Structure 1
Amino acid sequence: MEHQHDHRIHKHRVEAKNLVYSIALNVIITVAQVVGGLFSGSLALISDALHNFSDVLSLLFSYVAHKLSRQKASINQTFGFKRAELIAAFVNSFTLVIVALYLIYEAIGRFFHPQEIASGIVIWLALLGIVANGASVLLLKKDANHNLNMKSAYLHLLTDMLASVAVLAGGLLMKYYHIYWIDSVLTLFIAVYLIVVGADVLKKSVKMLMLFTPEHIDVKEIVREVHKIPGVSKLHHIHVWHLNEEELHLEAHLDCSHDIPMSEFNRIVQEVEEVLYEKFGINHVTLQPEFHKKDPKNFIVQD
């Protein structure tokens, strides 16, 4: 099998220290909001604390996954731990949805049995959450544009900052207008928003972990483009998948139009790599050469 590595992989350097700073900030927020929520009786504040605790876990997981993903491949781990960040993104987004469902359950119960809440504590701790989570969001914003793992952590923090804004608004309404049921309503809004943002990252991470063909890739278009290259008879048995966010792989059988030497096949492979990289962003290509091999060639995709 002819195996060609294309080294044109554009890697964005993730600042792992920003994750450490964000973890420290969220530990402080979580402890403060748990204590404040118990003293004030605010479900929205406790729900925000639970979300912050999930943030701490997700950030720790993201940090470990990031470190693992940078380890080199070995005989026992031929791909290294490059998919660790995808697993982290999956777990983080999944827990985000689970936390949201729990908050909905609690909010519905509290809505029918509203309780008087110490709004002053709620207001000050909501302000703390806005400042600390806002700082964490700014720390991770740049990396979130280039890395799904970091994006899942970033979304945890962004939604928590927005949740703190909602809690602050609720605290003000409770303090000046004594509208205590607003606590449950805000919790419901926070939870629904968590489900929306979490489900998007969950969907993307599942597709990558399942080795699905990326949505922007048209396999039939790949075949049409490769068939234009002189010396190519048929490209078939194709698989296209993300190893991680930086590496897009393709493996396939390449049936040649003539019985050619390997040096000529190398030329064809080089042209195929150029086409796949320039038009589809595929940067790792593995091709099995064939000539009149007796196997079914009418399948574009087959195990």
Structure 2
Amino acid sequence: MGHSHHNHVHSHTELSGKNLLISIFLNTLITVFQVIGGLISGSLSLLSDALHNFSDVLSLIVSYIANLLSKRKASANKTFGYKRAEIIAAFVNAATLLIVSVILIIEAVERFLNPQQIESNLVIWLALLGILANGFSVFLLKKDAASNMNMKSAYLHLLTDMLASVAVLIGGLLMKFYKIYWIDPLLTLGIAIYLIYVGWDLLKESTRVLMLFTPNTIQVQDIVDSIGKMDSIKNVHHVHIWQLNENEVHLEAHLDFNEDISLSQFESILEEIEEEVFHKYGINHVTIQPEYGKPDSKHIIVQD
């Protein structure tokens, strides 16, 4: 059996946890201030923003721990190391976004039924604090979010919270100058719906990776046809393609050869396959089982 790692696979981005720690500190401060301010002012949107900020703190802690774990080396009983720690963190963070959203929707409906007068000045100042602190955290994580699912989940938590603070600020201004108090639960409802929108996509994406599904960008039949065109190969079957994390996509397959080739010939063919699937499909880990005259089914492309 041939197993090959493409030579580009080890160019993994080293992610520093420093920015996550700064964001954890800022969001902890915001949460404390907003809880106190929400209780004093009676603002549901401010308390909902505080709840979201608290979920941010938890998600950032999860992301930070996962970031540390992902850098640990593989061992005899952990042959992949902790490479999936960040995918698990992304899944957990996406799930918490959805849970928080449901809680906010319930609270918004209750406040619609029982509207309350709100101290808008405190709401305005704390919303401004949230915008500044979360805006800075978003800036810190934006670069890493483009290439890492874990950092993207943390980034989305912070981005949505910054937008929520903007909504709370608008609501505070409307309440202060126009006495429109029903805007408070309405904004809470809008925040919740937006959280569901951004959280659902991330939850689906992380679930696909955890379930070892074939990446959406890859069609199994295309790879089978591409490899099968090589002169020495009679058949491609028993194919599995999965994504380990953001950096690694794996392919394993059985190849039935036309002739009983030598090991050196197989190594040459393996290298050709490796180059083909890497440049066309981004697959950087290839495991091939060579066969000649083996009496198994050659027509089953995908099998458990």
Taking structure 2 as the reference length, what is the TM-score of the superposition?
Answer: 0.98
**Residue 36 of structure 1 aligns with which residue?**
37
In structure 1, give the amino acid aligned to 2:87: L
Percent identity of paired positions between Structure 1 and Structure 2: 63
Find the residue that maps to 1:259 and give its secondary structure.
coil
1:192-203 pair list within 5 angstroms: 192-203=193-204
**Which residue is equivalent to 1:149?**
150
- Please give the root-mean-square deviation of Cα atoms over the aligned residues, in Å: 0.7
Structure 1 equivalent of residue 6 of structure 2? 6
The answer (yes or no) to whether the contact 1:229–1:272 under 8 Å persists in 2 is no
Work out the CA distance in 2 between the residues paired with 1:278 and 1:170.
51
1:213 aligns with 2:214: yes
Does residue 229 in structure 1 map to residue 256 in structure 2? no
Distance in 1 (alpha carbons) for counterparts of 2:164 and 2:144: 22
Q: CA deviation at 1:257?
A: 1.2
Does structure 2 retain, via aligned residues, the 8 Å contact 1:234–1:255? yes
Distance 2:32 2:125 in 1: 14
Q: How many residues align?
A: 303
Aligned AA (2:39): L
Displaced runs of 4 or more, over 6 A: none
Query: What pairs with 1:119-134 in structure 2 (closer than 5 Å)?
Result: 119-134=120-135
Is 240-249 or 14-23 further displaced after alignment? 14-23
Deviates more, 1:281-290 or 1:11-20: 11-20
CA distance in 2, matches of 1:267, 1:234: 18
Q: Give the letter aligned to residue 4 of structure 1.
A: S
- Unpaired stretches in structure 2, ≥5 consecutive residues: none
CA distance in 1, matches of 2:236, 2:138: 46
Q: Give the letter aligned to residue 266 of structure 1.
A: E
Structure 1 alignment gaps of length 5 or more: none
Whether the 8 Å contact between 2:3 and 2:285 is mirrored in structure 1 is: no
Deviations along 1:189-231, whole A, 9 cap, x unmatched? 0000000000010000000000000000011110111112231
Task: Say whether residues 1:292 and 2:293 are aligned partners.
Answer: yes
- How far the C-alpha of 1:3 sits from its partner, in A, is 1.6
| Residue pairs, 1:56-205, within 5 angstroms | 56-205=57-206
With 188-197 and 8-17 compared, the bigger mean Cα shift is at 8-17
Deviation at 1:7, TM superposition (A): 3.0
Which amino acid is the alignment partner of residue 229 of structure 2?
Answer: K
- Kindly state the Cα deviation for residue 256 of structure 1 after the two structures are TM-superposed: 1.0
Q: Deviations over 1:50-100 (max 9, x none)?
A: 000000000000010011011010001000000000000000000000000
**Counterpart-to-counterpart distance in 1, 2:255 and 2:35:** 61
Contact 1:229–1:271 (CA under 8 A) maintained in structure 2: no
Q: Could you tell me which amino acid in structure 2 is paired with residue 65 of structure 1?
A: A
